[in-house]
Amino acid sequence: MSVSDQEILALACIPEEKEQAFSLLVKKHQQRLYWHLRKMLIVHEDADDVLQNTFVKAWQNLEQFRGDSSIYTWLYRIATNEALNFLNKKRAELINNPEDLEVLLSKQLDNDPLYTGDEIEKRLQKSVLSLPDKQRLVFNMKYFDNMKYEEMARILDTSVGALKASYFHAVRKIEALINQELF
């Protein structure tokens, strides 16, 4: 039986029970957060690293969480910010590298033993990689995670209209790339 967010938060308020509350929180949300991060970062080790950072921040701030949003929305927001920061840091490290991060991640897909997608899936994933980070994020959340615009708006702190426009442009770009068979 799944534990509710309210039960986890109630436990977290008791200092002796904080560790148990956190353990329940990790068990409940680790997989969904991992797949979100993996689609953004492609490399398993990077997704693992950022997922750990996300939960470390959650542990440090659990007492301050006021419950204005669901725990999952809160965690998803931390994870998203961590992922965007991670990608920016990676780009800064590659400043003298002739190849862009997107190109390196595309190559990673070709050689990654932990990626088993067929050619069509690979082409789609490479097309998605060509999008700017925030547009890619919106595309992943809507297309792969089936998330509602209202929930996305809460996580990304933006309007539903902006998200719909962003998703529309992302789909148009990806369809164009796939039709032109650029990947």
Tokens of 87: 């990608």
Nearer to another protein, 159 or 172 (CB): 172
**CB contact set of 42 (below 8 Å; sequence gap of 6+):** 105, 108, 109, 112, 115, 125, 129
Tokens of 53: 């950072």
CA angle 33, 102, 100 (to 5 degrees): 135
Residues 159 and 153: beta-carbon distance below 8 Å = yes
**Minimum distance from CB of 40 to another protein (Å)?**
11
Nearer to another protein, 101 or 178 (CB): 178
Nearer to another protein, 92 or 119 (CB): 119
What residue ranges bind another protein (CB under 8 A)? 23, 26-27, 30-31, 34-35, 38-39, 44, 48, 51-52, 55-56, 59, 114-118, 120-121, 124-125, 143-144, 171, 174-175, 178-179
**Minimum distance from CB of 67 to another protein (Å)?**
22
**Minimum distance from CB of 28 to another protein (Å)?**
11
**Minimum distance from CB of 6 to another protein (Å)?**
21
Question: SS3 of 99, please?
Answer: coil
Give just the sign of the alpha carbon dihedral 13, 16, 21, 26: positive
Nearer to another protein, 39 or 83 (CB): 39
**Minimum distance from CB of 82 to another protein (Å)?**
14
Between the alpha carbon of residue 153 and those of residues 32, 82, 86, the distances in Å are: 18, 18, 22
Nearer to another protein, 93 or 121 (CB): 121
